Structures are given as structure tokens and as C-alpha cells.
Amino acid sequence: MSSIAIVTSRGAKRLAAGHPWVFRSDLAEAPSEPAGPVRMADPRGQPLGWAWWSPTSEIVLRQVERDGDVSIDRTWWRSRLAHAIARRAPLATVTNACRLVHGEGDGLPALVVDRYDRWLVVQFLSAAIEAQRGVIVDVLQELAGPAGILARNDASVRVREGLSKGVELVAGQVPEEVEVDEHGVHYLAAPWTGQKTGAFLDQRENRVMLRAHARGRALDVFSYHGSFALHLARGAESVTAVDASASALARARANAARNGVGNLECVEADAFEFLRDAAARGERYDVIALDPPALAKNRGSISGALRGYKELNLRAMRLLAPGGVLFTASCSYHVTKPMFLDVVGDAAADSHRPMILRALTGQPLDHPEILTIPETGYLKGMLLENGEHTA
Ligand code: SAH
């Protein structure tokens, strides 16, 4: 066995088309190396650059560098991470929390780094990344100078990589809660225990977009710790935040107090039931945020998820006052952009309201979605207006 991974010509074609993954079925010859960076070549010996080698994964190789002559060393890491961090520079004026590395979207497959003020939360999501943990942490210390680094290695993809799951302090100290400033709204993120790495950073700009429409009665469904609600409270008379999680809502209340918000009501309820009951009571809202969790967790659950999205959107549309605005989102990777447009369109048809499409949104600057790598994209949003005339 040589130290080079040989990729089938089908695998090489896929790489040439801009997708960095090589599946096990396209591995012609495994390299002799342990998990980590390896060089690749096609069956004729044409070099294909460097990849992360994950011996136990279905995704055995993830290309990181087309040039096989460079070395994957500290200098390489420094340059790749510095480039990713520099890309986020424009966000520094609006927030102290953002994603610094979005895996494949930043040319760094299987690595996620989120910044929460002075602290970093990382996810080492492949065996090859795990093997390079030392240099990654070292360079992050140098470039970002964090007060602490936490590894949220509790993601289940790690199991497929033959890695253990757990949350680990990697450097310094990381507090239970970190105050995030998001376009002037303050909230506490929970790096150790919160969803994802502590907060949903990816909806930042959508919250600001919806805030511009805040007025009258506002509703934030699937509110988590009050994320959209806190922004809406700025311009609305009253805001209702709905979530099934009591602990998330406890943080929403604390966040409201932190922002001096007195017009937020928190309701612990199942969102489907809440929307149905609100419609039965004849409630009307002027602004609604609808940001459910990923309803399709895998390919097999797509049709069930679409029914869920249809129902939620239909119910939300029925609650919209004439002229009211709805922001609806899907973070299910398996529900594609066309599917989401279709299902929201179906809901609009059933709602018998002329729903106006005001904006289609994707991912913010710090979550780059690469067109040739569909897996880097998951978040879709639509800003809709109920075009009915007021009586
Ligand atoms: N809008 C939030 C993120 C929402 S994440 C933000 O921008 O930060 C999804 C949320 O839905 C979680 O807080 C979870 O507790 C909640 N949730 C999941 N299923 C639910 C259900 N059936 N009813 C109400 N809330 C639910």
C-alpha cells in the first residue's frame, strides 16, 4: 500500500465538478496512512491534491487542496483559517457572535468554529480533523486569542467517523452563558448545553429583516430563547413567544429583562396546537416568525416533513391580519429550495389569501453556501405579506 489514496475515475470526475467528497465506493485503493491529510491520485496516477482521510466513514476522503505540492502544515492551517476569519470582518460592527468556519463552505471540511464574544466553540466532525486537533487549536489561539475553547463534540456524525461523543473544554475557561449582542439586541447563548453550539447564529439577518416590519401584535413560533421575539419587541405593541421547551423560554424571559423588554409573553406549548387554538379563537397577528426545527432529519422523512411545513404555514397564514407579514423558514437540508417554495405555495393556495412574496433568503455571510456543494446549504427563508385589503 502506498501513502496515496487512489480515487476511481468516477470519484475524480466528481471532484473536478467542484464537490470535495469521495465516497467509499469511489476509493480504488486505500492509503496506508492513519486518519489525517493524505494525497490523492486518479487511477492513471494524475495527482488530485490533498484530502482528509477518514478510514471508517462512508465519506472516506474530503478534498481540501487541489495542489498536492503544498504541505498541510501549520502555515497552511494559518492561511486557511485566517482567510475564513477575514471573511467575517464586516460582521464585527453588528455582532460579537458569528460562525468563523463553516466546514466545506470555507474549504475546511468537517470543521465548525463559532465565536461567542471572547470564546470559541468548535466541532471536530471527522477522524481527519480530530487527528489535527492540536494544530487547529494552536492556530485558533494565535489568530483569535480566545479566553477559552470548548469542543461541542456531541454531534452524532462523530460516531460514523469512529469517534466518541462528548463536550470537552479544550483551552482556557468557557462560561455557562455568554452575552451576545446581535444588532443591538442582547441575549444569552449557552455554549455547553444550548442547541447547536449555543445559539442559532444563522438567522441573525432574518431577524433584523423582520424587525423592520414589527408593529401591532407579533408572534414568534418556535422561539427558542426569544430570538426573533426580542427583535420584534422593538417595534410591536406586544409579542408572544411560543416554544415547547420550558428551559428555552426561561432564557427568553431572562433575555427580555436584559433588554428592558416589557411587552413579551412566553407560552410553553406545542406549536401546531398553539396555532390551531389561536385560529379557533379568531386571533390575528400583524407579524409572525415561523422557524421550526429541521422537520426532515433524513431523506426518508421528507414527505412527513412537507406535510408539517404545509400545516404550519397554512395555520400561520390564517392568523395573519390583512397587510400582515410572515417570515417562514426551513433549516432541513433534505427539503430543497424548490420543495420549500412549493410547499409554502400550497399553503398559500389553501389559505385563500393573496400571499405576496417580498423576499427569498438564504444563509448569511458567515455560513457560506457553495453552489457545487449542496451540503453546505440548509437554511431557506421567505418573507411573505398578506395582500388582502383592510375593510
Ligand atoms: N427561532 C429560533 C430557533 C428555533 S429552533 C431562533 O431563531 O433562535 C427550534 C425550536 O423549536 C427549539 O427551541 C425547540 O424547543 C422548539 N420546538 C421543537 N418542536 C416544537 C413543537 N412541536 N412545538 C413548539 N416548539 C417546538
> What is the domain-level CATH number for residue 249?
3.40.50.150
Q: Are 255 and 225 in contact (CB under 8 A)?
A: yes
What's the rounded Cα separation, in Å, for the pair 288 and 152? Answer: 32
Q: Is the CB of 274 under 6 A from ligand 1?
A: no
Q: Domain check: are 60 and 82 in the same one?
A: no
Q: Domain check: are 110 and 160 in the same one?
A: yes
> Range of 27's domain?
4-65
Q: Domain check: are 42 and 87 in the same one?
A: no
Q: Domain check: are 230 and 347 in the same one?
A: yes
Q: Are 211 and 231 in contact (CB under 8 A)?
A: yes
Q: Domain check: are 168 and 131 in the same one?
A: yes
Q: For residue 155, how far is its CA from the centre of ligand 1 (angstroms)?
A: 18
Of 210, 187, 183, nearest to 289 (Cα)?
Answer: 210
Q: Is the CB of 175 under 6 A from ligand 1?
A: no
**Ligand 1 atom index nearest CA of 289:** 1
Decide if 188 is inside a domain. no
Q: Domain check: are 357 and 306 in the same one?
A: yes
- Give me the number of domains the chain comprises: 3
What's the rounded Cα separation, in Å, for the pair 140 and 154? Answer: 20
- Read off the CATH number of the domain in which 95 is found: 3.30.750.80
Q: For residue 45, how far is its CA from the centre of ligand 1 (angstroms)?
A: 50
Q: Domain check: are 352 and 223 in the same one?
A: yes
- Read off the CATH number of the domain in which 14 is found: 2.30.130.10
Decide if 190 is inside a domain. no
Q: Hey, what amino acid is at 79?
A: S
Q: Is the CB of 224 under 6 A from ligand 1?
A: yes
- Using most ligand atoms within 8 A of CB, pick from 193, 243, 287, 288 the residue to mutate for ligand 1: 243
Decide if 50 is inside a domain. yes
pLDDT of residue 391: 60
Decide if 319 is inside a domain. yes
Of 47, 65, 83, which one is at a domain's C-terminal end? Answer: 65
pLDDT of residue 1: 75
Catalytic residue among 331, 335, 344, 383: 331
Decide if 184 is inside a domain. no
Q: Domain check: are 302 and 153 in the same one?
A: no
Q: For residue 248, how far is its CA from the centre of ligand 1 (angstroms)?
A: 9
- Using most ligand atoms within 8 A of CB, pick from 219, 222, 312 the residue to mutate for ligand 1: 222
Q: Domain check: are 168 and 296 in the same one?
A: no
What's the rounded Cα separation, in Å, for the pair 86 and 26? Answer: 35
Is 98 known to be catalytic?
no
Residue whose grid cell is 426573533: 228
pLDDT of residue 389: 83
Q: Domain check: are 206 and 133 in the same one?
A: no
Residue nearest ligand 1's atom 12 by CA: 224
Q: Is the CB of 309 under 6 A from ligand 1?
A: no
For residue 33, the 8-state DSSP code is S
Residue nearest ligand 1's atom 10 by CA: 222
Decide if 187 is inside a domain. no
Of 15, 30, 65, which one is at a domain's C-terminal end? Answer: 65
Q: Domain check: are 21 and 158 in the same one?
A: no
Of 178, 210, 243, which one is at a domain's C-terminal end? Answer: 178
Decide if 193 is inside a domain. no
pLDDT of residue 10: 98
Residue nearest ligand 1's atom 13 by CA: 224
Decide if 312 is inside a domain. yes
Q: For residue 244, how far is its CA from the centre of ligand 1 (angstroms)?
A: 7
Q: Domain check: are 245 and 304 in the same one?
A: yes
Please count the CA atoms within 13 angstroms of the CA of 31 that sit on its side-chain side. Answer: 23
Q: Is the CB of 385 under 6 A from ligand 1?
A: no
**Ligand 1 atom index nearest CA of 245:** 15
Full-model pTM: 0.96
pLDDT in tens, the chain (391 residues): 789 999 999 999 999 999 999 999 999 999 999 999 999 999 999 999 999 999 999 999 999 999 999 999 999 999 999 999 999 999 999 999 999 999 999 999 999 999 999 999 999 999 999 999 999 999 999 999 999 999 999 999 999 999 999 999 999 999 999 999 999 999 999 999 999 999 999 999 999 999 999 999 999 999 999 999 999 999 999 999 999 999 999 999 999 999 999 999 999 999 999 999 999 999 999 999 999 999 999 999 999 999 999 999 999 999 999 999 999 999 999 999 999 999 999 999 999 999 999 999 999 999 999 999 999 999 999 999 999 987 6
Q: Is the CB of 243 under 6 A from ligand 1?
A: yes
